[in-house]
Amino acid sequence: MMLKHLMIAFIPLALLLVLPFSLRPVSKFEKVAAAEKIVIVSPHSETIRYEFEKAFCEYYQQKTGSAIGIEWRSIGGTSDIIRYVNDRYEASFREWWQQQDELEQWNGEIAQSFKSPGILNDPSASESAKKARRIFLDSETGIGIDLMFGGGQYDHHRQAERGFAVDAGLLKLQREWFTPEIIPQQFSGEIFYDTEGRYYGTCLAAFGICYNKDRIAELGLESPRRWDDLADPRYFQNIALADPTKAGSITKCFEMLIQDQMQRVEDDHEQGWRNGMNLIKIISANARYFTDSASKVTKDTASGNAAAGMCIDFYGRSEAEWSGICNEGVERIVFSAPRGGTSLSADPIHLLRGAPHRQGAIEFIKFVLSEDGQKLWNYRVGTPGGPVKYALRRMPIRRDMFTREHQQYMADAATNPYNDASGFDYKAELTGRYFNLIRICVKCFALDPLPELRAAWQAILEAGGPEKVPAAMAEFNRLPFEYRELARIQRELSGGKRENILAMLKQQRLWSEACREQYRRVEMLARKHTVSKRDVLSAE
């Protein structure tokens, strides 16, 4: 009898647990679970994923007569994805290695060497290390993922050099696409596709400033047109920034800012680097926060929680469109590419080594680069061949899309990025190899010590501004190292060796703490001047 009562009592609980699962809608992937699929890891938003999945699945069905599904892996931002992919490849290769009786025992040297780009030509490398690299490059080691879609060229190039991104064959299969008239290999100093076919740019991005027109007017400011404008004291605690260790797009903004400053004093790269880093410090001191999500910058700017921010172009344009929908056609946010201060970058796609669904993955790359795929980036919702639900507001990479035939359907018909970016040439030799180090610099000089940095800058402003407290400003502008030292620092602290990783973490802590102490001294110097000035006025 007791058991019967327990069973009766359990039935409602069981229904509560089972009912949601029985009523939930079947996902797109589950509908084609018995058919083919591809697995994609991507930092792209749900809007981009939705439109490309729908269009590609229809295209594939029409072309092959077979259904296909896409399984998206949501890891986080580009930096999170890179760490995840790297860890997975090491784990996968180690597992295979340990199953081979004829190979030596797995060790730290092998773990570092198998993914080391230059080790085969390094005379100091051991034969064991070179052997591990050769075996990996000859292998089909995989991680159960077919493609990485999105993120910046820097990260895709690093994955190609490590051997994780492999040739998808499009330079031969679709040779007619890869010409200066359709997809140039380089433009404005940026690389649009790998000459070995290991990654291909899919759309274009510019980096700049988003601002709220009403908030700018309230603060008595002109619309920002250059990176320097964000250093205006009236922006204090009114700028939104993203964490560069989480979002590759904001790191690119900071790199563009540094390039802008270095190119203004072409004969003195040391001074240009100092100017750039100190401008970043001032803009950071003006910031309300550093967020983990780059898209939050534009959302807060549109809502008025921030007056301006640094962002990638499509975040700014998309948020402007959404704010217009929510405010009876009035767009509250504007995106502005700094005059002569940004290049045109590509967002690539690449095929991963050991892709389990290689042919379907290659078809996806071909679709994304075809005219039909390129239409999705900037065609208006509901136009022929355009997105069905979301306007993506990104610029296609194909130059032949910027014609009257296509622009009549585009959301940004007046924009031709190939013309707009002609005033700036990105010089990779200045900062390209230091991209990751720039992330670390911003973290240690601005993000970690933000309370102290903000207090120091506030003290300078309350003292009357930088010109009134030259000693405090000189201390504010002091950097832990100079531009000429970057190569050495990168060499000593880069790589995957455990000792290098530990050394980098230790050095980051030292830099962050040193900056905290430095900004405390700045605040003290500025406050001392303010007190002295007050005493003089009192005496009078």
Indicate the class that CATH gives domain 28-74+144-204+345-415: alpha beta
Does 421 have pLDDT greater than 90? no
Q: Give me the mean pLDDT over the 505-516 stretch.
A: 95
Structural domain spans, the chain = 28-74+144-204+345-415, 85-142, 207-344+427-534
CA distance 221 to 456: 23
| pLDDT tens, residue by residue, 137-184 | 999 999 999 999 999 999 999 999 999 999 999 999 999 999 999 999
User: Which pLDDT score, from 0 to 100, does residue 246 have?
Assistant: 85
Q: Which residues contact residue 86 at a Cβ distance below 8 angstroms, ignoring those fewer than 6 apart?
A: 115, 162, 164, 496
Q: What percent of the chain has pLDDT over 70?
A: 90
| pLDDT tens, residue by residue, 183-200 | 999 998 999 999 999 999
User: Which pLDDT score, from 0 to 100, does residue 24 have?
Assistant: 37
511 vs 498, which has greater pLDDT? 511
Does 422 have pLDDT greater than 70? no
| pLDDT tens, residue by residue, 198-244 | 999 999 998 999 999 999 999 999 999 999 999 999 999 999 999 99
List the structure tokens of 283.
């803009």
- CB environment 477-501: b (16+ within 10 A), e (fewer): eebbeebeebeebeeebeebeeeee
Q: What percent of the chain has pLDDT over 90?
A: 76
Does 118 have pLDDT greater than 80? yes
Task: Please name the CATH architecture into which domain 207-344+427-534 falls.
Answer: 3-Layer(aba) Sandwich (3.40)
Q: Give me the mean pLDDT over the 38-53 stretch.
A: 96
| pLDDT tens, residue by residue, 488-507 | 998 887 765 666 778 888 99
What does pTM read for this prediction? 0.82
Average confidence score pLDDT of the chain = 90
> Residue 332: what are its φ and ψ, rounded to 5°?
-90, -10
CB 312 within 8 Å of CB 205: yes
CB 439 within 8 Å of CB 244: yes
> Residue 43: what are its φ and ψ, rounded to 5°?
-85, 0
Q: Can you list the positions of beta strands (E) in 175-319?
A: 186-187, 190-191, 200-205, 207-212, 239-242, 287-291, 308-312
Q: Give me the mean pLDDT over the 55-77 stretch.
A: 95
User: Which pLDDT score, from 0 to 100, does residue 216 have?
Assistant: 97
